[in-house]
Amino acid sequence: MAKLVMNDELFAELKTFIDDNKSQTLGLMPVLHKAQDIFGCIPLEVQKFISKEMHVTVAEIYGVVTFYSRFSTEPVGDHLIGVCLGTACYVKGSQKILDELIKELGIKQEETTEDGKFTLTATRCVGACGLAPVMMIDDDVYGRLSPKQISDILSKYKN
Amino acid sequence: MQIYRSHVLICGGTGCTSSKSLLIKDEMISELKRLGIHNEVQVVMTGCFGLCEQGPIMIVYPEGTFYSKVKISDVKRIAEEHLLKGRIVKDLLYYEALEDEIVKSVEEVDFYSKQMRIALSNCGVIDPENIDEYIAFDGYQALIKALTEMNPEQVIDELKISGLRGRGGAGFPTGLKWEFAASYKDDEKYVCCNADEGDPGAFMDRSILEGTPHSVLEAMTIAGYATGANKGYIYVRAEYPIAVSRLEIAIKQAKEYGLLGDNILDTGFDFDIEIRLGAGAFVCGEETALIESIEGKRGMPRTKPPFPAEKGIWGKPTLINNVETFANIPAIILKGGKWFSSIGIPDSKGTKVFALGGKITNTGLVEIPMGTTLRQVIYDIGGGCPDNKKFKAVQTGGPSGGCLTSEHLDTPIGYDNLVKLGSMMGSGGMIVMDEDNCMVDIARYFLDFTCDESCGKCTPCREGTKRLKELLDRICTGKGTLEDLSRLEELAYYIQDNSLCNLGQSAPNPVISTLKHFRDEYLAHVIDKKCPTGVCKDLLQYFITDRCLGCGSCARVCPKDCITPTGEIISEKTGKRRFVIDNSKCIKCGACIQACPPKVSAIVRQ
């Protein structure tokens, strides 16, 4: 499992963001984006913190966090692998890429490897349809993939 | 002003940056410095050129030389040969740009010569991060004209004359929408740009935001003036980091130039724009769900009426338009509604941007006049299916659209024409499928998508899409019956009629259209328990034919140990037997086919 870091410094950073933007009609979304950036996920403790700062119930915050796929309540691995399952990639065989990753990493979709190195997700269209099928590892885009390339690409991230 | 003898344009769109076009730009700059010609040649990073398939793309002006699939190692040659010595590097040209040793310019290539660019006119031409370049291409002229020479009614009239319809999917007349929004009076009003482009395989909004962000800002400001709003929101997907950063830069620059903010151009009109990030929910592309999301709630659609024009963001009158709709507006204000309405066909005016993808030679972004036929787009511009495969279907309108077949190819593209055929314009995704794609699997794929993205508010959509998907799962795994087919149809129409928002109402479209046009494929799955294209793995069976030499390579790689030498004796001398696959244990992984020596190729899949 991936590690979750929460300390006073990080909470202070979130508080500054909320305070700085209080004058505007901000809404929850920008705050949740910030929290996701800072902590890598939005666990219950963070939700409670936001609830106190913004005077919104935890129930409502939980509802919003779980509605959007960009927000997660559990930490993700060091490297986030996203296989594009947009239509253009799908008709060009991205399911086979995903299957290969599942085989190679020994985890299912939306799971994290034991050592906390990789989290595997299937994403919506990343807009690089010209390179289909595509996967992203963190911010790197790998295009025109075939299942044979997967193990080589993964090994770059293993150390 | 510095005059350059040559300009090197390098694509900075998402497709090309993914294949390292930014490094190519840096390399080009350092090469030019090394050769001492960096004061004669300017390197510009532009928005998307459109032909993403051939990326990274580099175009050299004034010649219009079109280099494709440029690698970092090619940069040195282009700099030395072309930019220093004036000799075009022919082997690096886009294949179609060289015909009988004659070099064609980018405008003469089939892919571009058949297009007409209004919304994309600045994409791939200007540096999106430099407001001066936008202004040099008539940027902000339309805003000046609207604010100083026209009153709000005249702006709206111009739009009504133009016949522009919403480019986000539903095709509602934009002029009317503006008129409604203008008619409601309130102390606060809003203009919102819907940049939550969620359709898989559609990337035109993203390319506009990345290639010409100022067009959208300019149009939103005009919209604010016409409808009496002073505040704008752009709701953009968080998955589009380049688009977001270029929008931020553009807003900052426009404010510095007094084209956004308080007292714009000293006319006393105030307008401000803020960016709001989406968080990966497809349903937020629906306008009322988008409003909920901006307000910081779960993105669930509201019942209409009241429409956003009356009660939108924070309960105030709100005008919501899609990115591409906005991108057309500066040209309409500048050149007039009449000019715009002279392009296209009676019910659909102007041009439309499509994202061509799937099994097509020229994947990319194309903008064509309405009324162009599907055949022209797919064959003349798109180059048809690669590898000489047979065209099977084209899917328009994303998960809400339908599949069209070869008999529909001569239909002129327009809002009403596509709806008549059971599909829709949608936001402009156009995915081509060839003979290798299974249409039942495609229908299941789209249902999987809508099922996942259903917000859960209304029952027909939440439960119905799930049941539809279960039925399709049964059919794809060989458990389907003829009864399932009729149940599928009945349920599809029920969901269409009873869902709250467009997501649910259009979710069954892929099922309905594939059932209509590809019923034989469904029947093959249900009656013969076969998938004609071999995509549905569970319906496949592997056999080892009598070409088998008994080497056992297949048995050694089989993960389930279900291949054994239990067939007839194939060699009296060695006593070797033909290997046999136990289909009850086989998981159809295909490892045996790969292991069988190519010369033998004894294993077949049926």
The reported pLDDT for the residue numbered B45 is 93
The reported pLDDT for the residue numbered A2 is 63
The structure's pTM equals 0.89
**d(CA A99, nearest CA chain B) in Å:** 10
Q: Establish if A142 belongs to a structural domain.
A: yes
Q: Where are the domains of chain B?
A: 6-113, 131-340, 345-434, 440-526, 541-606
The reported pLDDT for the residue numbered A23 is 65
**d(CA A68, nearest CA chain B) in Å:** 5
Task: Assess whether pLDDT exceeds 60 at residue A1.
Answer: no
Asked whether residue A62 falls in the same domain as residue A83, the answer is: no
Inspect the interface and report whether the beta carbons of B206 and A29 lie closer than 8 Å: no
Task: Assess whether pLDDT exceeds 80 at residue A159.
Answer: no
CA end-to-end distance (rounded Å), chain A: 17
Q: Which CATH class is domain B345-434?
A: alpha beta
Task: Assess whether pLDDT exceeds 70 at residue B155.
Answer: yes
- Cα–Cα distances (Å) from B578 to A66, B597, B599, in that order, read 55, 15, 16
- Cα–Cα distances (Å) from B191 to B34, B161, B195, B401, in that order, read 49, 21, 13, 28
ipTM comes to 0.85
CATH of B541-606 given 3.40.630.30, 1.10.10.60, 3.30.70.360, 3.30.70.20: 3.30.70.20
- The residue among A7 and B70 whose pLDDT is bigger is B70
Which residues from chain B sit within 8 angstroms of residue A91, using beta carbons? 358-359, 431, 433, 437, 442
Q: Establish if A48 belongs to a structural domain.
A: yes
Task: Assess whether pLDDT exceeds 80 at residue A139.
Answer: no
Q: Establish if A74 belongs to a structural domain.
A: no
Q: How many residues does chain A have?
A: 159
Asked whether residue A97 falls in the same domain as residue A146, the answer is: yes
Strand, helix or coil for residue A144: coil
pLDDT confidence tier of residue B368, bands split at 50, 70 and 90: very high
Strand, helix or coil for residue B536: coil
The reported pLDDT for the residue numbered B584 is 84
pLDDT confidence tier of residue A24, bands split at 50, 70 and 90: low
**d(CA B512, nearest CA chain A) in Å:** 18
Candidates B53, B54, B203: best to mutate against A (most CBs of A within 10 A) is B203
- The residue among B453 and B594 whose pLDDT is bigger is B453
* Angstrom distance (rounded) from CA B97 to CA B108: 8
The tally of CA atoms less than 13 A away on the side-chain side of residue B331 is 20
**Count: domains in chain A:** 2
Q: Rounded mean pLDDT of chain B?
A: 93
Nearest CA to B443 out of B476, B421, B416, B413 is that of: B476
The reported pLDDT for the residue numbered B338 is 97
CA end-to-end distance (rounded Å), chain B: 69
Q: Establish if A2 belongs to a structural domain.
A: no
Q: What is the mean pLDDT of residues B66-90?
A: 94
- Sequence-distant (≥ 6) Cβ neighbours of residue A61 within 8 angstroms: A28, A32, A47, A50, A51
Q: How confident is the model over B115-139, as pLDDT tens digits?
A: 999 999 999 899 999 999 999 999 9
Quick one: chain B helix, strand, coil %, rounded to 5?
45, 15, 40
Do residues B417 and B370 lie in contact, with contact meaning Cβ atoms separated by under 8 Å?
A: no
Q: Establish if A72 belongs to a structural domain.
A: no
Chain A CB within 8 Å of residue B21 CB: no
The reported pLDDT for the residue numbered B241 is 85
Q: How confident is the model over A43-101, as pLDDT tens digits?
A: 999 999 999 999 999 999 999 999 998 898 988 888 989 998 888 888 888 999 999 99
Q: What is the DSSP string of B107-148?
A: GGSHHHHT---STTTTTTTS-TT-HHHHHHTTTTHHHHHHHH
Q: What is the mean pLDDT of residues B333-358?
A: 95
Minimum Cα–Cα distance from A92: chain B residue: B358
Q: Tell me the residue type at B451.
A: C
Asked whether residue A61 falls in the same domain as residue A87, the answer is: no
SS3 string, B413-434, reads CCHHHHHHCCCCCCCCEEEEEE
* Angstrom distance (rounded) from CA B311 to CA B376: 42
Task: Assess whether pLDDT exceeds 90 at residue A6.
Answer: no
Residue-number span of the structural domain to which A24 is assigned: 8-67
Measured between CB atoms, which of A28, A130, A143 is closest to B296? Answer: A28
Task: Assess whether pLDDT exceeds 90 at residue B274.
Answer: yes
Q: How confident is the model over B406-428, as pLDDT tens digits?
A: 999 999 999 999 999 888 888 88
The reported pLDDT for the residue numbered B132 is 96
Q: Could you please state the CATH topology (level 3) that the domain comprising B6-113 is classified under.
A: Glutaredoxin (3.40.30)
- The residue among B252 and A78 whose pLDDT is bigger is B252
Pick from A67, A88, A118: which residue ends a domain? A67
Measured between CB atoms, which of B201, B363, B437 is closest to A86? Answer: B201
* Angstrom distance (rounded) from CA B347 to CA B414: 7
Q: Establish if A57 belongs to a structural domain.
A: yes
The reported pLDDT for the residue numbered B199 is 82
Report the CATH number that the domain containing residue A90 is assigned in CATH: 3.40.30.10
Inspect the interface and report whether the beta carbons of A25 and B314 lie closer than 8 Å: yes
Q: Tell me the residue type at B320.
A: I
* Angstrom distance (rounded) from CA B365 to CA B197: 15
Inspect the interface and report whether the beta carbons of A129 and B295 lie closer than 8 Å: no
Q: Tell me the residue type at B278.
A: G
Minimum Cα–Cα distance from A85: chain B residue: B200
Task: Assess whether pLDDT exceeds 90 at residue B98.
Answer: no
* Angstrom distance (rounded) from CA A105 to CA A114: 10
In terms of CATH architecture, what is B131-340? 3-Layer(aba) Sandwich (3.40)
Q: Establish if A27 belongs to a structural domain.
A: yes
Gyration radius from chain B CA atoms? 28
CA angle at residue B494 from B488 to B495, to 5 degrees?
90
Q: Could you please state the CATH topology (level 3) that the domain comprising B440-526 is classified under.
A: de novo design (two linked rop proteins) (1.20.1440)
Do residues B219 and B326 lie in contact, with contact meaning Cβ atoms separated by under 8 Å?
A: yes
